[in-house]
Structure 1
Amino acid sequence: MRLERLHLQGLRCISDLTLELASGFNVLLGANGAGKTSVLEAAFLLSHGRSFRSGARDALVQRGTSGLNVFSSVRHDSGVVHRLGLGREGARWDARLDGQDVPMGQLIRECAVVCFEPGSHALIAGAAEERRRFLDWGVFHVEHDFLVTWRRYQRALKQRNSLLRNGQDADERLLGPWELELARTGTLIDQWRRTYLDALQPFLREQAVLLLPELGVIELRYRPGWPEGEDLAQVLASQRARDQGRGHTTSGAHRADWSLSFELAPQREHLSRGQEKLTALICVLAQAWLDAKHRGEWPIVCLDDLASELDQAHQAAVVNSLRGTQAQVLISGTELPKVLEQTPVKMFHVEQGQLTRLL
């Protein structure tokens, strides 16, 4: 798949910008703060319904404006073209597909974008929430019932937490039905996550050989959020008193996590900051390869500030790997990466939110 035309309004420093993208490599050059990352952020918004920048929700809308809009047309490898639209007015988000209002999930399912950016190391070094987001985005694009099931789980979790905080003794009649719903939906989510991670592992190993061969074999560990092999309903029932004292549910699919280790770096603390970034990039690229295998077409790949995040050898490894695929790639930076100097690219210069076509 590829984005053919991307139109931004009121996004950060960009008032109104339209660019026609090539099917291969697209490079956005400019000084820091010029608006390059915002273009990649717009593509990511269409695919995730959120920014890849942490704490960015309130800063997304350009100062002095009441809302933002992102429009694009996406062409699938089958030749089918869809028009995508995402708008925010105040705190409300609106999604549109081919001119019709649709749920956010329907828009996200239509467009797949993976992104490596300066904050991506949080996927390795940050909180478990970031890793669950990464995992669940992948599961969402494989299991069509995932979103409905995940929402039912969240509703049951909210109800159980509310009952735990009301100050009354834990009551089987009140908590029991919500715990059964948590167990049913949580077990499904856990099964889907395990299946997805099993499918992801071969691609993780391939990318690790490409980017971090000196660390040896990569291994993935998954923790479901409750004791392995135990029934979630029984775990929740046994923990009622403890959970009531804490005011929230301490076991379940919302507590799941996963981690990566290497043969020669068995603990995360053994990785340098640069190796954490490369490990995050391994995850992003592995997810892209798996999504391409599942869909039969490549997701859009965004590489933000590539030259400052990776040394030239690793830049070359990534670009050469993607060059052999059908992926549309969006790269931002202050200068053209050397590995792309002899590669056909579509190049843009961004300055103060304005765009000029270079090549």
Structure 2
Amino acid sequence: MEITELRLGNVRNLAQSEIGLVVGLNEFVGANGAGKTSVLEAVFMLSHGRSFRAVRRESLIRFGCESLEVFALVQRNSSLRRLGLSRRKGDWSARVDGAEVVSLAQLLSEIAVVCFEPGSHELISGAADERRHFVDWALFHVERDYVEIARRFRRALKQRNALLRSGVSTEGLDAWDAELVRSGTVLDEWRQKYLAALLPGVEELAKRLLPELGVPTLKYQRGWPVELTFEEALSQRRERDLERAHTGSGPHRADWRLSFPAAPEREHLSRGQEKLTALVCLLGQAELFHKQCGDWPILCLDDLASELDLDHQQRVFGWLSAIDAQVLLTGTAPLAVTPSPLRQHARFHVEQGRVERLL
């Protein structure tokens, strides 16, 4: 899939920008604070409904303005979609082919964006919810019933926790336990299946980017003891859950991690190795998306030159040169690495919220 045209209105310091993108490499160059990352944020929002930065959503709107607008023409296989996303007075609104959609998920399903940025190391070293979101975003695109199953699980978990806080007798929990088991077991099976499919690609990418650490292994923690079914775990923890007023077992407690022969624990990785491990996972996710969905997601690489040394940049571009994904990349200076001559290459200069094509 590719974005052929991108229009931005009042996204951070970008007032009004119309950007024609190429299907290959799109390079955005400018000083710090010029607005380069805001372009990638806008593209990311179309796929995730949020920024990849940990910021208040209202701060995405240009200072002094009441709303932001993002519009994209997206070519996916043989179809062309017109996607629009806006935020005004605390609410998102979304459009597909000019028609407003009731659910934001309808927009998010039309475009897939995988992003590596300075905070991506949190996928490895951060809280478990980052790693759950990583998997669940992919399931949203590949499992037809994901939205409904996830909605049922969240609703049941919310209701069960409310009952636990109210101090209700254990009998009142039976109905919500049954729903948690039905939906939660499906989520768990999907996650296990996805991570098993992800691992071979991650192993190959780790050989390219982190050969010194050895072949990685992936361990999945489902959120309850492996020797128990989910139903048994809920039953055994009821009294403890009542005491603590929350549900302590389930897919909402799941986690996964990579380990290497030379770095068995996360703490053994340097910050640079954490970033490379996160990049391995993200590129592996993009590759698996291609295998499962038939097209490549859009790849965003924010400030790559400051995150990776020249040698690792060359390794990454060696991998990128062999695939057909559209890439959006930012930096304070033009690439030191020569892109593949077989790929289209556009360079844009970003200055004081204005985007101008140079190449």
Letter of the aligned partner of 2:318 in structure 1?
Answer: N
Map of 1:248-267 to 2, 5 A cutoff?
A: 248-267=246-265
- Give 2:212's aligned residue: 214
Deviation larger for 26-35 or 91-100:
91-100
**1:126-184 per-position Cα deviation (integer Å, ceiling 9, x unaligned):** 00010001010011111010111001100000000111111x34331x21100110111
Q: What is the letter of the counterpart of residue 156 of structure 2?
A: A
What is the CA–CA distance in structure 2 between the aligned matches of 1:101 and 1:244, rounded to whole Å? Answer: 43
For residues 271 and 239 of structure 1, do their structure 2 counterparts lie closer, same or farther at Cα, with a shift above 3 Å needed?
Answer: same
Q: Which residue number corresponds to residue 127 of structure 1?
A: 127
Higher mean alpha-carbon deviation, 93-102 vs 180-189, is at 93-102
- Conserved in 2, the CA contact under 8 Å of 1:302 and 1:330? yes
Please report the TM-score for the alignment, with normalisation by the length of structure 1: 0.97
Whole-angstrom CA distance in 2 between matches of 1:146 and 1:286: 21
- 1:43 lines up with 2:43 in the alignment: yes
Question: Which residue type is aligned with residue 118 of structure 1?
Answer: P
- What's the secondary structure of 1:120's corresponding residue? coil
**What is the CA-CA distance between 1:208 and the residue it aligns to?**
0.3
| Deviation digits for residues 176-207 of structure 1 (CA, Å, limit 9, x no counterpart) | 10011011100000000011111101110011
Residue pair 1:170, 1:241 contacting (<8 A) in 2 also:
no
Matched, 1:58 2:58: yes
| 2: CA distance, partners of 1:55 / 1:258 | 25
User: What's the offset of the Cα at 1:11?
Assistant: 1.0
Instruction: Please state how far the C-alpha of 1:357 moved relative to its aligned partner.
Output: 1.0
Query: Aligned residue for 2:91?
Result: 92
User: What's the offset of the Cα at 1:99?
Assistant: 1.0
Q: Which residue of 2 aligns with 1:28?
A: 28
Question: What are the within-5 Å matches in structure 2 for residues 142-181 of structure 1?
Answer: 142-166=142-166, 168-172=167-171, 174-181=172-179
Residue deviations 1:276-295 (CA, integer Å, cap 9, x gap): 00000000000000001111
Counterpart Cα distance in 2 of 1:112 and 1:229: 36
- Residues 232-273 of structure 1: per-residue CA shift (max 9 Å, x gap): 122212212211222211111101000000111111111000
Cα distance in structure 2, aligned partners of 1:62 and 1:55:
14
CA distance in 2, matches of 1:216, 1:242: 41
Classify the secondary structure of the residue corresponding to 2:317.
helix
How far 1:336 moved relative to its partner?
1.4
Once the two structures are TM-superposed, the CA of residue 73 in structure 1 deviates from its matched residue by 0.7
Residues 323-338 of structure 1: matches in 2 within 5 Å? 323-338=321-336
User: What per-residue deviation string (whole Å, max 9, x for no partner) do you get for residues 30-73 of structure 1?
Assistant: 01111100101111111111111113423111111111111001
Structure 2 unaligned residues grouped into runs of 5+: none
Give 2:352's aligned amino acid: Q
Contact 1:170–1:240 (8 Å) recurs in 2:
no
Query: Aligned partners of 2:61, 2:283: CA distance in 1, in Å?
Result: 30
The 1:255/1:342 distance shift into structure 2, 3 A limit, reads closer
Distance across 2 between alignment mates of 1:341 and 1:212:
22
Show the counterpart of 2:108.
Answer: 108
Partners of 1:12 and 1:123 lie apart in 2 by 25
Cα 1:127–1:317 change in 2 (3 A) is same
Alpha-carbon distance between aligned partners in 1 of 2:5 and 2:191, rounded to the nearest angstrom: 34
State the one-letter code of the partner of 1:37: T
Contact kept? 2:321, 2:339, Cα under 8 Å: no
Asked if residue 351 in structure 1 is aligned to residue 318 in structure 2, the reply is no
2:189 maps to 191
Query: 1:4, 1:191 → 2: CA distance?
Result: 37
* 2:141 matches 1:141: yes
Which deviates more from structure 2 when the two are superposed, residues 343-352 or residues 106-115?
A: 343-352
Contact map agreement 2:142 2:292 (CA 8 A) in 1: yes
* Structure 2 counterpart SS, 1:119: coil
Aligned to 2:236: 238
For 1:220 and 1:56, the matched residues in 2 are separated by 33
Where 1:88 maps in the other structure, the secondary structure is strand
Conserved 8 A contact 1:11-1:61: yes
Contact 1:36 1:332 in 2 (8 A): yes
Aligned twin of 1:83: 82
CA 1:341–1:156 in structure 2 vs 1: closer, same or farther (change >3 Å)? closer
Inter-partner Cα distance in structure 2 for 1:326 and 1:170: 58
TM-score normalized by the length of structure 2: 0.97
SS at match of 1:59: helix
Query: Distance in 1 between the 2:339 and 2:138 partners?
Result: 33
Aligned with 1:82: secondary structure? strand
Which residue identity does 1:82 align to in structure 2?
R
Q: How does 1:304-323 map to 2 (within 5 A)?
A: 304-323=302-321
